Chains A and B, each alone.
Chain A
Amino acid sequence: MYWLLLILMAIVVFASRYLFLEPKLPLRLNDKVLRLLSYSAPAVLAAVIGPLVLIHDGELNLNPLNPYLVGAMAAIILMLLTRSTLITAMLSMGLFLYIN
């Protein structure tokens, strides 16, 4: 039972990742669609970050001392100042683990 579920999950995930990579699929992407798709990467990142930072145990946490919020603000400032993804990730993670 578990192994069947695992195989079916793998098929669902792979199919959604592969579908539009298939050349036999009759689909031509025009400039408008490509422009729309150019917003997908920032939208993905933002949509993943939002709930992780502001929702804990199913409730909105807007407390300014929420360690996730403090850590996220630190990451934004560090990135604007240093322009280094590695420094930003390491320092803000360190800060988060210290205050959490």
Chain B
Amino acid sequence: MVPLIVAVLPWGILVGAYGVESGLTPVETQALSLVVFAGTSQLVAIGMLQAGAGMASILLTTLLITARHLLYSMAMRNQIKNLPLRWRTALGFLLTDELFVNSPQTQTFDKWYALGGGLSFYIAWNIATLAGIFAGASIPNLTTIGLDFAVVATFIAILIPMIKSLSVFVCVCVAIAVSIYCEMQQIQAGLLIAIVSGMVSGYLLYNIKRKEI
């Protein structure tokens, strides 16, 4: 969890600085992090507001970007569905990319560990947003110095140990290729399409290899 909390900080600063640079008030910017708590959706919504997009198109885009969380809740279903409502609500609200990739989808799942991790991300995210709001007001070009590389560095560090088989390796390669293609084509659901493409590729290869044995 710790490296991911480190990664959340620059990413949160970016969101805070971008919000006030785009004309939102500090309170409006902070409220996004407090209530929505979804980095990519926040960044895109701020950009669309600045560009003068309407509410319906912003909500539709949010839906497309956030649809990947359906996969996370499905993958975590067997671990969480039998917990009491307050646990399901709390873990559901906190179920970010970071929490998901850190939670084992197996018997070893620990709800307290997941809650602690999720709350750590939430607190770190909001403190970083606040820092970004203040820093963005005083440091020019804060949003262009490459704060997003923190996400790259930590996600690579988490991804490498996951690549234990050829099928996972192929899943990763396909997801990268499709995500780049979708981004070039500016497809809003690109992240979801890339994730599903990678998953299906890995799954198919696993089945082919199993039949050969």
Determine whether A40 belongs to the interface, using a CB cutoff of 8 Å to chain B.
Answer: yes
CA distance A94 to B171 in the complex (A): 29
Q: Chain A interface (Cβ within 8 Å of chain B)?
A: 1-10, 12-14, 16-23, 27, 29, 33-55, 58, 60, 67-68, 71-72, 75-76, 78-80, 83, 85-86, 88-90, 92-93, 96-97, 100
| Nearest CB in chain B: distance from A43 CB, A | 4
Chain A residues closer than 8 Å to B100, beta-carbon distance: 40-41, 44
Q: Say yes or no: B36 contacts A6, CB within 8 Å.
A: yes
Encode B77-114 as 1/0 by CB contact (under 8 A) with A. 11011100000110111010100110001000000000
| Nearest CB in chain B: distance from A19 CB, A | 6
- Interface-facing stretch out of B122-130, B132-140, B145-153: B145-153
Q: Which of B57-87 contact A (CB under 8 A)?
A: 58-59, 62-63, 66-78, 80-82
Chain A residues closer than 8 Å to B154, beta-carbon distance: 85, 89
Q: Say yes or no: A40 contacts B152, CB within 8 Å.
A: no
Q: Say yes or no: B73 contacts A16, CB within 8 Å.
A: yes
Interface majority SS (helix, strand, loop, mixed), chain A: helix
Complex A-B: 11 CB contacts under 8 Å: A6-B28, A7-B35, A8-B55, A13-B41, A17-B73, A23-B81, A42-B163, A45-B158, A49-B151, A54-B180, A93-B153
Q: A47-B195, A55-B183, A88-B156 are in contact. Are A27 and B55 (CB under 8 A)?
A: no
Specify which of A36, A47, A78, A89 is in contact with B7 (CB 8 Å cutoff). A89
Q: Say yes or no: A21 contacts B76, CB within 8 Å.
A: yes
Q: Say yes or no: B178 contacts A47, CB within 8 Å.
A: yes
Query: Which 9 A-B pairs rank lowest in CB-CB distance, beginning with the nearest?
Result: A43-B198, A18-B92, A47-B194, A46-B175, A50-B176, A20-B73, A51-B183, A85-B157, A50-B179
Q: Across the two chains, which residue of chain A brings its CB closest to B197?
A: A43
CA distance A51 to B180 in the complex (A): 5
Q: Say yes or no: B93 contacts A79, CB within 8 Å.
A: no
Q: Say yes or no: B202 contacts A5, CB within 8 Å.
A: no
Q: Say yes or no: B177 contacts A93, CB within 8 Å.
A: no
Determine whether B15 belongs to the interface, using a CB cutoff of 8 Å to chain A.
Answer: no
Q: Say yes or no: A43 contacts B199, CB within 8 Å.
A: yes
Q: Say yes or no: A12 contacts B59, CB within 8 Å.
A: yes
